[in-house]
Structure 1
Amino acid sequence: MATSANALYVLRLVLGGVRRRALISASTRTYSHSSPMPGYAQSLSFLEADEGEYAAASEFLPERVATEAPPVPWPTVFEHGARRPRRAQPCDIVARLVASEKYGAARKVVDELKALHTPVQHRKTYLKPALASLESTDEGRRNFLFWMELYPARGATPNHPALRKEWAPIVHRVLGENIDNAAFLAEFLELAGRKGLLNVVLPIFVVPLAAILPPHQSEEVVSRAIASYRASCRPKSSSQVGRNLASLTDIQTELWWNKYLRALAIVEHHEPAVALLHSPPLGVRFQAWARAMVLGEDMSKQRRADDSKTQGKPKCDGALLQLIDSPVLDRDNRELAKHLARVLDRTRKDLPRVGMLADTQRLLLRLRPELLPTLERWFTERSRDNLVEDEGTSVRHQWWAHAEVLRHARDGDHVKAVRTFRRHFLWVGLPPTSVGTGDMERRPRRLPNKRIVCSILPSILALLSPVERTAYRKAFYSSFRSLAPAFWPNQFTHLAFVRIEAYTGGPTAATEVVQDIVEVGLNPGLPAWTALLLSMMGRGDTEAALHLLDSMERRAPLSETRRMPPPNGRTYAGLVRVAAKHGHIHVAADLLRRYQKHGETSGELGSLEAFFGDLKSRHRTPQEIADEKRTQAAVLRELNRLDGDDLKSRIQVLFERKRGNDEHGKEKGLSEQGDDVRRESVQEVVIEGKVLGQAAAVEHGEEKQSSAYA
């Protein structure tokens, strides 16, 4: 009995387990990782199979789907085939839009994030939309500053070449396209300080800012930029690295204040420079070179001389030396070799005259154009033996560009002259104008000096209409005091305005220009008065010219503190030539007497030989130069015979002989067997008529003054 009872108990347990498993499997989902049900077990349900309610309800029940996540794979040595995708950062929507060049949508996202007080991650990729939005408009400037705010800040670093290579073109572009907006430049300079870029931006900005801003404003701008740089980049840590970076920041600060002090001296803000020198910012010591510039001790020539002694003789290109040393050359190439030798010799010592360099460029373009880039490279590049950056290189680049501008202006190609000026120089010292604008290549532009402004001003005025020229002149004289004294007008600036009006409008227009100059409190200077005199004499208003000359000889007052300048020998020379050209022989004789009474008694025009022989040989062949010399000798012989009242009659004889020669025509040739004395006399009279008939009055003063100024 016991055995059968035990067997029955075990059988009940087995059958009960099977029934329970069947119930569980029927009530769970279809998909399961459990072991399969045995085939002998019957499928049971929680409803009776014969009831119709279950069948009707099962038609409307959804199918059960697997909701369990797939199993996590076991870690292995090798990477899995299916990697999880990299999740983007929360703010990368802005970076993705910028990468897709959807700058407008990206800016809207940034504005929304800022409205929600959500920080935007700063990235270098935002420099691209900043440069794309940079335009010479208010909206373009705002967009540029907006994207530059999202550029990441740097720590204090030296101005290494890689940093300059990346940022110098950008800084030059910002400066060149926005030189007329000082407020934007000041804001960008402060932003550069916060971003740690001041060591690249400030050396390029400092001199132009000193030129276009008053001293107190430029000093405030520089001070704010340096303060923002120190607040952003100077570490407060006491570690060794922190102390080194703090020391670097202090050195950079002192260097930048020295640059600013030299900039004030360059643009001739002497009093503010002296005040800054005697009361420097806290912890700043000014260098000896900066002190010498402020106190008027120009060390540039001495420094270049010392550099030439230490560096030795600079190497010249073989093609240039071969042309100079070639023994067999024709006449034109001999002249070119002579100009090249003079330029090379002067460059080794100091710098050649700009006019000499312009003439050499013209000869090279006409005879050997392939050598012009070679000469430019030799003239502008610094010596390879000098490992330190040569600050004179910038001066030589400016010198070469000035020669290009002067060459185009002398050739009469004023459009090309203005375009060359815009390509190389910032538009500072001149009122804005649309002359010479167009698609310009992006390249570094330098600040012009007063000489360059005086060289380009006649070309600008020649391209303006009379109405535009008058408005431009008034804008120039009404705004010059807002610039640095280095760009204030001088006598050659006044001469450019007077000469163009005298040429186009006559003495009346030239007189109006002179009166405008006097009304603004300036002295027109002797060149401008001489141009007005020559205009009156050339247009036949002899009485007005002589009356003005009388006023100049007695130095009539212009105002309480200014008087008219006395005429010099060049003034009388131009008047005599113009009077003789128009047939006013008696006036020419009187002017000769007045020259001997009031003119110079020594110097270039101290003698009558120099008086008549002061003719430029530029753009003339050697034969023409020889003819001019023979003419000067003939004129000297004729003048030596003049005595007292016989002066007028002898000059009259010369002009009657010339007039008779013009009426009967020149002879086609002279017999070689003729009288040598007669041949020389005829040649002298013909050439004398040519000399006196030239319009050398204006050209004489212009060429001499421009070459002396250059």
Structure 2
Amino acid sequence: MSVSASKAGFVLGLVLRQSNLWRRSIVTSAPAVHSVWSALDEETLTDSTPASTPSSSSFLEVESADYRAAAISLPPRPLTQRPIPWPTLFPQAHPSAPPTKLIQPMRCDSIVRHVASGDLVTARAVYDDLRRLQIPIHARAMYLSAATACLDANPPDKDGFLFWLNLIPNRPATRSHPSLKTTWKPIVERISEILGRDSQFLSQFLMLAAKKGLLPVVLRPFINYLVLNLSPQQSVNIMGNVTQTYIVNTSPQELESARGLKHRTVAEKQVSGWWNEYIIAMASAGWTEAVTELLKNPPSSVQWSEPARQRLDQLLSRPRDAEDENTDDQALPDVPWQPRILAQRLRHALHHPPSPTTLATIIRHLEYISSSHPTILQRFKSRFCRPPGALSISLSSRQNLWRHAQLISIRASGSHETAISHFSAHWQWYGLPLSFRSIAPTSTSPKAVPSIDIITSILPSLLSCTLTSDLRSRHMQYLQLAHVLPPSWRPTSATHSTFIREICHRLGPAEGISALYAIIEGGFDPGLQSYNVLLCSLARRGKDDQMIQLLEAMRSTDFEEGSIHGLVGRLPFPNARTYDGIIYVLEKRGDIGLAGQIKRLKREDIDRYRQDEMVVEAQQL
């Protein structure tokens, strides 16, 4: 070793020895050193701090924007002093409280702070940065407020709603608690308002709700939407995927524990209940083939209940009444019944629910005698809508029947605006063109889906409030919409005749013939009622030649193809109501001769009809 190297080693040893001595002095005299360093820090800060800059105990620079941004993202670190419990052999009289658990800060806490402050854009940016760095994001219930804010935005942010909903915690298969229903009720109502025809968004939402275990509170309100707005194949596929996802994500696959078996049992019971409601809604909509296929091949772990089978038997065996008389205002007489007859009608209506038109007639008579019997209408309504021992299904049907009868009674009195308000307050605007909604006032209360009979009953009021120049366009819009409606909501002959009656009354029989031709071209059967309306309109306007020509074409049994006033194909055979309407118009007009000629044609047809019946009976024998 050289002399220089030995000298360097000697110097290095002295330095290390001095360092060790310095450390020992700090340990032995910690209070003194602490006071020295505190005074030194205070002196240094006092000398180095400019006069314009306020003193601060934080190391962050106040004027730095980067530090301020970092201060928002950094989690708070509270320092709590914990007392050290003294070990004892015997329990103490006043034991010290256990130390509080120190929650370790997470890197995704900054997302929660931004969501709490309402800055969803920055929260989304922080989320993207953390995901880019492969940092896990923990699920939190607070993200539901961000999802709700996306729905309330203008326009609604559907993608943002699904994004934040995906970050809330999952739930196992349990019963839907009242608090959960209260939380999700306004959200479901908001989704129903903005949904429209966006079935893809509804499918994504239901799938996400199934993964999160939220189907018990969100699926039932949308079953009718799936049935009424989608084809049977599409709705069945969505129901199958959603319910299967719910079972997989809310219950364990291997049922080794009692708790896992309980969750699986609850999930399968809930899924069976949803499928029973779904198949009843399918039968109500008229999808008979799809219902039959589901009954033969039910989904996995689904059992059809006995009440559901009974309801399906009623719906599938009920024929569709094509000739509805709900639009006949003459069925509501203004002359009151005798008290004995009225009492009989009331007793019979309580035990055997009548048709909406008959019930509307009873309501009109009770309103007529309300001056002498002020409480009779309310007492009858209470007994009719809630009879003793009635089931919930019959209660809802009776209440719907009462509202339908009220609609007919209000419309028959000529209060069309009141009838539209009554319809808007109790039923959805389903089965009608969107252009009709501008006539009605808005209402946010829960509503039922109207049947085709209710739609037919409100049509005269809607058309009366429509401009004459818009009648044909509204009719064409309705025919276009009718092609995509379920079978039970497609127009009947009473629906078509309502349009034809209003068009003939306000635009003339020529426009009525064009509207009738549009119905036939659209693939619908206008029914005999529409032709009866057209014949009476021709007779009322004095177009006797066209009326006779159309009537003879309807009476002709050899008429298969041809064109009468543009009407192509076989026309319906006239009945007694056809002739009675024409005779009434001609006699009111004063044309007794032509009225007698129509009476003679009526007798000929009646005799021919009787002969045909005798021939059919002889052939059967």
Fold shared per TM-score above 0.5: yes
1:527 deviates by: 0.5
1:353 deviates by: 2.6
1:204 deviates by: 2.9
Q: Does residue 255 of structure 2 align to residue 252 of structure 1?
A: no
2 CA distance for matches of 1:286 and 1:412? 47
Residue 337 of structure 2 contacts residue 365 of structure 2 at CA under 8 Å; is this kept in 1?
no
1 CA distance for matches of 2:607 and 2:503? 29
- For 1:224, the equivalent position in structure 2 comes to 241
- For 2:560, the equivalent position in structure 1 comes to 557
Structure 1 residues 401, 200: closer, same or farther in 2, change over 3 A? farther
Residue 169 of structure 2 contacts residue 212 of structure 2 at CA under 8 Å; is this kept in 1?
yes
Give the alignment of 1:438-457 within 5 angstroms. 440-457=442-459
Letter matched to residue 236 of structure 2? E
- For 1:482, what is the secondary structure of its paired residue? coil
Give the alignment of 1:320-331 within 5 angstroms. none
- For 2:258, the equivalent position in structure 1 comes to 240
- For 2:290, the equivalent position in structure 1 comes to 272
- For 2:392, what is the secondary structure of its paired residue? coil
Q: Which among 430, 433, 439 is matched to residue 432 of structure 2? A: 430
**Which runs of 5 or more residues in structure 2 are unaligned?**
1-24, 38-45, 50-56, 59-78, 86-93, 319-333, 611-621
1 CA distance for matches of 2:542 and 2:579? 17
Residue 175 of structure 1 contacts residue 185 of structure 1 at CA under 8 Å; is this kept in 2?
no
Q: Does residue 508 of structure 2 align to residue 501 of structure 1?
A: no
1:140 deviates by: 3.9
2 CA distance for matches of 1:457 and 1:591? 31
Letter matched to residue 31 of structure 1? S
Q: Which range moved further: 87-96 or 445-454? A: 87-96
- Deviations for 1:107-154, whole angstroms, at most 9, x for unmatched residues? 555555555554444444444444454369874433433343333332
Give the alignment of 1:285-300 within 5 angstroms. 285-291=303-309
Residue 572 of structure 1 contacts residue 599 of structure 1 at CA under 8 Å; is this kept in 2?
no
- For 1:433, what is the secondary structure of its paired residue? helix
- For 1:575, the equivalent position in structure 2 comes to 582
- For 1:658, the equivalent position in structure 2 comes to none
- Deviations for 1:651-685, whole angstroms, at most 9, x for unmatched residues? xxxxxxxxxxxxxxxxxxxxxxxxxxxxxxxxxxx
- For 1:31, the equivalent position in structure 2 comes to 35
Say what the alpha-carbon RMSD is for the aligned residues.
4.4
1:541 deviates by: 0.3
Q: Does residue 166 of structure 2 align to residue 149 of structure 1?
A: yes
Q: Which among 584, 593, 598 is matched to residue 586 of structure 1? A: 593
Q: Does residue 266 of structure 2 align to residue 263 of structure 1?
A: no
Give the alignment of 1:64-143 within 5 angstroms. 90-102=107-119, 106-107=123-124, 109-110=126-127, 112-114=129-131, 116-134=133-151, 139-143=156-160
1:554 deviates by: 1.4
Structure 1 residues 335, 530: closer, same or farther in 2, change over 3 A? same
Residue 415 of structure 1 contacts residue 436 of structure 1 at CA under 8 Å; is this kept in 2?
no
2 CA distance for matches of 1:545 and 1:73? 102
1:157 deviates by: 1.6
1:346 deviates by: 2.0
2 CA distance for matches of 1:71 and 1:488? 71
Letter matched to residue 237 of structure 2? E
1 CA distance for matches of 2:158 and 2:593? 67
Give the alignment of 1:295-314 within 5 angstroms. none
Letter matched to residue 539 of structure 1? R
Structure 1 residues 466, 150: closer, same or farther in 2, change over 3 A? farther
Give the alignment of 1:450-469 within 5 angstroms. 450-469=452-471
Tell which structure's C-alpha radius of gyration is larger.
1
1:265 deviates by: 1.4
- For 2:228, what is the secondary structure of its paired residue? helix
Structure 1 residues 346, 98: closer, same or farther in 2, change over 3 A? farther
- Deviations for 1:312-352, whole angstroms, at most 9, x for unmatched residues? xxxxxxxxxxxxxxxxxxx99997997687456423x2423
Structure 1 residues 549, 439: closer, same or farther in 2, change over 3 A? closer
- For 2:67, the equivalent position in structure 1 comes to none
Residue 144 of structure 2 contacts residue 165 of structure 2 at CA under 8 Å; is this kept in 1?
yes
Residue 429 of structure 1 contacts residue 480 of structure 1 at CA under 8 Å; is this kept in 2?
yes
- For 2:411, the equivalent position in structure 1 comes to 409
Structure 1 residues 97, 177: closer, same or farther in 2, change over 3 A? same
- For 2:202, the equivalent position in structure 1 comes to 185
Q: Which range moved further: 518-527 or 436-445? A: 436-445
- For 2:522, the equivalent position in structure 1 comes to 520
Letter matched to residue 208 of structure 1? Y
2 CA distance for matches of 1:374 and 1:93? 62
1:246 deviates by: 1.0
- For 2:479, what is the secondary structure of its paired residue? helix
2 CA distance for matches of 1:422 and 1:114? 48
- For 1:205, the equivalent position in structure 2 comes to 222
- Deviations for 1:668-706, whole angstroms, at most 9, x for unmatched residues? xxxxxxxxxxxxxxxxxxxxxxxxxxxxxxxxxxxxxxx
TM-score norm. by structure 1 comes to 0.62
1:529 deviates by: 0.1
1:602 deviates by: 10
1:517 deviates by: 1.1
Letter matched to residue 401 of structure 2? W
2 CA distance for matches of 1:106 and 1:373? 57
Structure 1 residues 399, 174: closer, same or farther in 2, change over 3 A? farther
Letter matched to residue 595 of structure 1? K
- Deviations for 1:172-192, whole angstroms, at most 9, x for unmatched residues? 553355253333332322222
- For 1:307, the equivalent position in structure 2 comes to none
- For 1:545, the equivalent position in structure 2 comes to 547
Q: Does residue 192 of structure 2 align to residue 175 of structure 1?
A: yes
1:199 deviates by: 2.5
Letter matched to residue 500 of structure 2? V
Residue 424 of structure 2 contacts residue 443 of structure 2 at CA under 8 Å; is this kept in 1?
no
2 CA distance for matches of 1:554 and 1:427? 42
Letter matched to residue 238 of structure 2? V
Q: Does residue 390 of structure 2 align to residue 392 of structure 1?
A: no
Number of residue pairs matched? Answer: 516
Letter matched to residue 300 of structure 2? L
Q: Which range moved further: 264-273 or 424-433? A: 424-433
Structure 1 residues 31, 370: closer, same or farther in 2, change over 3 A? farther
Structure 1 residues 294, 155: closer, same or farther in 2, change over 3 A? same
1 CA distance for matches of 2:82 and 2:481? 79
Structure 1 residues 458, 242: closer, same or farther in 2, change over 3 A? same
2 CA distance for matches of 1:510 and 1:333? 36
Structure 1 residues 171, 359: closer, same or farther in 2, change over 3 A? farther
Structure 1 residues 392, 601: closer, same or farther in 2, change over 3 A? farther
2 CA distance for matches of 1:71 and 1:428? 62
